[in-house]
């Protein structure tokens, strides 16, 4: 029979490791949020009431991205911690790096809000990076029924693909990019709206 003191010690160590993991994720969420906030500051710096229409619409897209990406990526890491059996080792070296990459791309996007071509390039790069990451999460959680991850992954891949194809064939004008970005955001927000509020 196993010594009760050893059992208690093992339980305590396991709980301690879980708490350390949770605290680490909380710290990463704070860093992620700070970088996103720096992006918002860049938008505020260039904001004026008499800015052209294309800038107004870029600000609208930046706001939609902020709403979509403020909680969702860190939420994905929490799901992996809870349900990603056998894959938890990958969270620190891979998922946390991707999480921070999301925030830096958003910051660069906001930094270039006055350069519309670069702004939308960063937006669609963000979609592509996010989609690639979501497909890896989908694979690691293949035994779980998490529909919103599939919707986000497929939608973001399709829209980033359309952007890159149209750019390659020479369809480069900001109104097309805005419509693609707006449709992508509305599909995301309307179809998966309740999922943003679930643990």
Q: What is the DSSP string of 53-114?
A: HHHHHHHHHHHHHHHHHHHHHHHHHHHHHHH-TTTGGGIIIIIHHHHHHHHHHHHHHHHTTT
pLDDT in the model for residue 134: 92
pLDDT in the model for residue 16: 43
Which residues span the domain enclosing 67?
Answer: 4-197
**How many folded domains does the chain comprise?**
1
The sign of the torsion formed by the CA atoms of 23, 27, 30, 32 equals negative
pLDDT in the model for residue 28: 72
Report the first-to-last Cα separation within the chain, whole angstroms. Answer: 39
pLDDT in the model for residue 122: 96
pLDDT tens digits, 162-176: 999 999 998 888 899
The parts of the chain modelled with pLDDT lower than 70 are 1-22, 24-25, 73-74, 83-89, 193-199
pLDDT in the model for residue 6: 57
pLDDT in the model for residue 4: 56
Q: With contact defined as beta carbons under 8 Å apart, do 188 and 69 qualify?
A: no
Query: Helices 53-83 & 96-111, crossing angle to 10 degrees?
Result: 170
DSSP character at residue 47: -
**Two tokens, residue 199:** 């643990």
Name the CA radius of gyration of the chain, rounded: 20
DSSP character at residue 173: -
pLDDT in the model for residue 20: 47
pLDDT in the model for residue 162: 96
pTM of the model: 0.81
pLDDT in the model for residue 197: 60
Angle at the Cα of 124 from the Cα atoms of 118 and 125, rounded to 5 degrees: 85
């Amino acid at each position: 029979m196993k010594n009760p003191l050893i059992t208690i010690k093992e339980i305590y160590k396991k709980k301690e490791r879980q708490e350390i993991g949770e605290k680490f994720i909380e710290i990463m969420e704070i860093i992620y949020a700070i970088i996103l906030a720096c992006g918002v500051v860049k938008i505020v710096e260039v904001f004026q009431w008499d800015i052209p229409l294309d800038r107004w619409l870029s600000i609208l897209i930046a706001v939609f991205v902020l709403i979509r990406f403020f909680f969702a990526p860190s939420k994905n890491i929490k799901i992996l911690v809870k349900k990603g059996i056998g894959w938890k080792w990958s969270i620190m070296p891979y998922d946390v790096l991707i999480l921070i990459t999301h925030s830096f791309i958003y910051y660069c996007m906001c930094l270039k809000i006055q350069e519309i071509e670069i702004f939308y390039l960063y937006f669609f790069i963000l979609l592509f990076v996010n989609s690639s990451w979501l497909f890896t999460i989908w694979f690691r959680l293949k035994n779980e029924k998490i529909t919103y991850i599939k919707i986000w992954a497929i939608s973001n891949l399709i829209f980033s693909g359309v952007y890159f194809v149209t750019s390659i064939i020479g369809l480069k004008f900001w109104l097309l990019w805005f419509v693609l970005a707006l449709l992508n955001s509305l599909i995301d927000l309307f179809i998966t709206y309740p999922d943003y509020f679930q643990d």
